[in-house]
Amino acid sequence: MVAECRIATKNVGRINPESIDDYLASGGYEALKKTLQLKPEEIVFAIAKSGLRGRGGAGFSSGMKIKFTGEATCQLLECMRFIVCNADEGEPGTFKDRIIMEGNPHLYIEGMIIAAYAVSAEKGYIYIRGEYTKSIAMTRMALAQARERGFLGSDILKSGYSLNIDLKIGAGSYLCGEELTLLESLEGKRGYPRIKPPYPAEKGLFGQPTLINNVETLAHIPAIIIHGVDWYTRLGSKKSPGTKIFTLSGDVALPGYVEAEMGVTLRELIDQFGGGVSGGKKFKAALLGGAAGTFVPESYLDVHMEYDTLQAKDAVLGSGAVIVMATDKSIREMLNSILRFFQHESCGKCVPCRVGTQQLLILLEQINGARRDKEKAFAEMLRQSEIMAKTSLCPLGQSPILAVKSALTHFSHELYVDMR
Ligand SMILES: Cc1cc2nc3c(=O)[nH]c(=O)nc-3n(C[C@H](O)[C@H](O)[C@H](O)COP(=O)(O)O)c2cc1C
Ligand code: SF4
């Protein structure tokens, strides 16, 4: 039996999230106090040594990012560093950040202040999706309490370090969760992506060095500072230490979230924490990572859920979303709703994605209507999504290939037969 292991969801459901005193009584802001006794470089070193990887989806090394941002030279005369927390959480099937923001908001705010100190940021923004009204209210309340107790604002705990954090409410665009698009939106512009490089660490918000991290990533930082790198690296796997919040939905008896060590298997997540496939049905597939994710079949049930193991098997961990499908569910229908989602969320700025998302849907509808040779049509879908992956301007247009390719690899037998 695998046990839950709570770092980012620590104390969720156990303390009153509206009370800073409850947070303080559970050891809250001790990591910040310790941080302020250390040099910023020591915090950067600790995060790098911990092996923490971004929990927003890409799994990029948080240590490298924080190091690059801290070392980046400002390109403008008036130099200012920023920290931005990505709380947009738009990936279908993903609701992990909401759990932290609603259940223990001071934890990620404390992590954000520590990360800000490490890169000497003077100003921070939390970008939250507008639909998350409770997360917004809880975060707003926590920020006010932190300010009142001297954990935020000028001369934090008389350390000489000052930081202000403001909230920005998103307007419901999936693309605005992509870091560079988010920065455009924060600057008050339309949510169109920027070309990378330059990366935010070098030229981010208002052209200044910017550290941008996901809520869950930041929620790991206080524990790393308090318990140390050795403690953290003992959890999870060698290349992906720590824990991950997985959100279980679809045909699972007990939908919800679970935080477990990286490397837990899909079977453990579904059977042990999710209570098995709902209604006593049989497992057919899981969509891992949401719409920008991959279908995996039964043979993946004992694969370890961590970035590199999944990548080696042409699957992704992404945001940690696990959407379970029983045998009575259609892969073709799920693929259809994923492609509709991308068509709807495409910003239209570049041709491969604007036209490609439309064409993928047309092809799938032709197949559903049995108006084409299915095998040929699916080969055309794959070619189309490969072109999109190679030529689209931003990662949104590069994402449909994941679902299309994994559906074809593992479920071609189902896709090619007429299921109507
Ligand atoms: C289309 C798209 C949407 C994204 N949405 C989110 C999101 O809602 N939340 C998030 O944290 N990261 C999202 N990301 C990933 C971010 O671009 C970025 O990698 C992340 O904020 C970095 O933080 P981390 O290093 O802590 O993971 C998205 C990426 C893409 C391409
Ligand atoms: S890939 Fe899609 S979402 Fe990204 S810029 Fe092009 S049209 Fe917009």
Tens of pLDDT, residue by residue over 157-193, are: 999 999 999 999 999 899 999 999 999 999 999 999 9
Predicted TM-score (pTM) of this structure: 0.97
Partnered with residue 260 across adjacent β-strands are 244
- Whether the link from the prior residue into 241 is cis, omega within 30° of 0, is no
Contacts of 355 (CB under 8 A, 6+ apart): none
Cα–ligand 2 centroid distance for 354 (angstroms)? 7
3, with CB counted inside 10 A (0-12, 13-18, 19+), is exposed
3-state secondary structure (DSSP) of residue 258 = strand
Is 32 within 8 Å of 151 (Cβ atoms)?
yes
- Residues whose CB falls within 8 Å of the CB of residue 58, separated by 6 or more in sequence, listed in order: none
Average pLDDT over residues 139-147: 98
Ligand 1 atom closest to the CA of 182, numbered from 1: 17
Query: Phi, psi at residue 302, to the nearest 5°?
Result: -105, 15
Helix runs in 228-314, H state only: 229-233, 266-267, 307-312
Which pLDDT belongs to residue 420?
44
Average pLDDT for 407-411? 95
289: Cβ below 6 Å to ligand 1? no
Q: Are 59 and 51 in contact (CB under 8 A)?
A: no
Mean per-residue pLDDT for 224-253? 98
Under 8 Å between Cβ of 335 and 378: no
pLDDT in tens, 9-25: 999 999 999 999 999 99
Cα of 196 from ligand 1 centre, angstroms: 14
State which of 88, 178, 194 you would mutate to test the pocket of ligand 1, scoring each by most atoms of that ligand within 8 A of its C-beta. Answer: 178
The residue to mutate among 350, 384, 399, 401, having the most atoms of ligand 2 within 8 angstroms of its beta carbon, is 350
Q: What per-residue confidence (pLDDT) applies to 414?
A: 84
Closest by CA to 277, choosing from 326, 216, 208, is 326
Residue 73's pLDDT is 85
Q: Classify burial at 72, counting beta carbons within 10 Å of its beta carbon; exposed 0-12, middle 13-18, buried 19 or more.
A: buried
Gap between the Cα atoms of 382 and 215, Å rounded: 34
Ligand 1 atom nearest to CA at 215:
11
Q: Locate 307 and state its tokens.
A: 């970035």
Of the pLDDT bands very low, low, confident and very high (cuts 50, 70, 90), residue 78 is confident
In 3D space, the residue among 102, 137, 108, 103 whose CA is nearest the CA of residue 124 turns out to be: 108
- The residue to mutate among 52, 179, 319, having the most atoms of ligand 1 within 8 angstroms of its beta carbon, is 179
CB 56 near ligand 1, within 6 Å: yes
CA-closest residue to ligand 2 atom 8: 347
